[in-house]
Chains A and B, each alone.
Chain A
Amino acid sequence: MRQLNATVAINRAIAPDWMHMAFEWPSDLPAPKPGQFFTALPPVVELRAGTILRRPFAFAGFEEAQTEKDSSMLSRPAYAHSIYQVRGPGTRALASMQPGSSLDIIAPLGNAFPYPERGERAIIAGGGIGIGPMLFLAEQLGAGTYASSAILVLGFRSALLIPFSGSFSAAGLPSWKKLLEKAFFSTDDGSAGTPGTVRDALEALWLQASDLKDRGKKSLGQKKWHLYGCGPGPMLASLAQFAAKNHMHAHFSAEQWMACGVGACHGCVLPAVSGGFLRVCADGPVFDAHTIDWEASLQ
Chain B
Amino acid sequence: MKNDLDLSVRIGSLIMPNPVGVASGTFGYGEEYDELVHIDALGALYTKAVTLEPREGNPPPRLVETPMGLINSIGLANPGVEKFLREKLPSLRTRLCPIIVNVAGSTEDDYIQVIERIEAHLASTDSGRPGIDGYEINVSCPNVHKGGMSFGIDPRLVERLTHSLRQKTSRPLIIKLSPNVTDIAEIARAAEAGGADAISCINTVVGMVIDTEKMKPAIAMGTGGLSGPAIRPIGVAATYKVGKAVRIPVIGLGGIINASDAIQYLLAGALAVQVGTALFSDPRAPLKVLDGIIEWMKRHSVHSVSDIRFMLR
Contacts and interface: CB of A to CB of B under 8 A. Distances in A.
Contacts of B59: 271, 277, 296, 299
Contacts of A54: 280-281
A195 B98 CA distance: 61
From B27, B77, B284, name the one whose CB has the most chain A CB atoms within 10 angstroms.
B77
B57 A260 contact: no
30 contacts: A2-B36, A50-B66, A50-B68, A51-B65, A52-B68, A52-B257, A104-B282, A256-B61, A257-B63, A259-B63, A259-B70, A259-B277, A260-B280, A262-B33, A264-B26, A264-B28, A264-B279, A265-B25, A265-B28, A265-B72, A265-B280, A266-B57, A266-B74, A267-B62, A267-B74, A268-B63, A269-B77, A275-B56, A277-B57, A299-B59
Nearest to A48: B67
B228 interface: yes
A133 interface: no
Contact of A53 (B26, B32, B33, B281): B281
Given A50-B68, A53-B65, A262-B33, 20 more contacts: A2-B35, A3-B282, A41-B282, A51-B65, A52-B68, A52-B70, A52-B257, A52-B280, A53-B280, A53-B281, A54-B280, A257-B62, A257-B65, A262-B32, A263-B28, A264-B26, A264-B33, A264-B48, A269-B62, A275-B56
A269 B74 CA distance: 9
A265 B26 contact: yes
A297 interface: yes
Contact of A52 (B33, B56, B65): B65
A276 interface: yes
Interface in A190-241: none
Task: Select the residue from B32, B35, B228, B229 with max chain A CB neighbours within 10 A.
Answer: B32
B255 to A, nearest CB: 10
A80 interface: no
Nearest to B65: A53
Interface string B227-249: 01100000000000000000000
Contacts of A268: 60, 62-63
B281 A52 contact: yes
Interface residues of B, number: 38
A266 B77 CA distance: 7
B71 to A, nearest CB: 10
A112 interface: no
A250 interface: no
B217 interface: no
Nearest to A258: B63
A256 B60 CA distance: 9
A261 to B, nearest CB: 8
A243 interface: no
B27 A270 contact: no
B270 to A, nearest CB: 22
Contacts of B283: 3, 106, 262
Contacts of B57: 266, 269, 277
B36 A53 contact: no
Q: Is the interface of A mostly helix, strand, loop or mixed?
A: loop
Interface string A168-196: 00000000000000000000000000000
Interface string A125-137: 0000000000000
A143 interface: no
A258 B74 CA distance: 12
B120 interface: no
Interface string B282-299: 111000000000000000
Contacts of A1: 35-36
A259 B228 contact: no
Interface string B17-53: 0000000011110001101100000000000100000
Interface in B264-284: 277-284
Contacts of B61: 256-257
B228 A52 contact: yes
A106 B62 CA distance: 22
A282 interface: yes
Contacts of A3: 36, 282-284
A3 B288 CA distance: 14
A52 B69 contact: yes
B56 A277 contact: yes
B44 to A, nearest CB: 16
Nearest to A271: B59
